[in-house]
Amino acid sequence: MMGIKSSLYDFFMYHGTCHLVLYELFPLSKIISLTMTQNISLKKFRSDYRISDFQIPETKLNFQIFEGYTIVQSELHIVRTNSQATELILDGEKLELISCYIDGQEIDKTTLQVTEHFLSIPWIYGDECILQIQNKIYPEQNTLLE
């Protein structure tokens, strides 16, 4: 795994769970448990928070940096904390999804919902699994400074 400048990532604790958020290099590591509608609000407020349906106790990231783009491979240990949850929604901006696997089995991309702002996976995988995602990103084109 290649080194990352400290200004590009943050660790935070929420309800005893440690989260790693890599801005633009890997925004899919942020979990959202809000119900999405057609009018997506990009701003999130504390009052919008509800306990997540899923937790990620372990995250492994691999970055392959090339001229003009980067391939990001993630391996997320997913634990469903709400047995009624029917989809996993992961934030993501300007990502090109290459592949998605759960417990080593490739997920048919036609079953996924990929938008400009998130990836939605219909949840039929039990209470615990390993999710592997590979994305192509273009960090040099990120001029938002978010």
Res 104: pLDDT = 94
pLDDT digits (tens, 9 = 90+) for 100-141: 999 999 998 899 998 888 889 998 888 999 999 999 999 888
- What phi and psi, each to the nearest 5 degrees, are found at residue 141? -85, -5
The residue assigned the tokens 């209470």 is 127
Rounded Cα gap, residues 146 and 138, in angstroms? 15
Q: How far is CA 23 from CA 10, 56, 95, 139, 140, in A?
A: 8, 17, 12, 10, 13
Is residue 114 a contact partner of residue 122, using CB atoms and an 8 Å limit?
Answer: no
User: Residue type at 28?
Assistant: L
Res 42: pLDDT = 56
Is residue 63 a contact partner of residue 1, using CB atoms and an 8 Å limit?
Answer: yes
Is residue 92 a contact partner of residue 29, using CB atoms and an 8 Å limit?
Answer: no
- Per the CATH hierarchy, to which homologous superfamily does domain 31-36+47-141 belong? tricorn interacting facor f3 domain (2.60.40.1730)
Contacts of 67 (CB under 8 A, 6+ apart): none
- Domain definitions of the chain by residue range: 31-36+47-141
Which regions in the chain score pLDDT beneath 50? 1-41
Res 146: pLDDT = 59
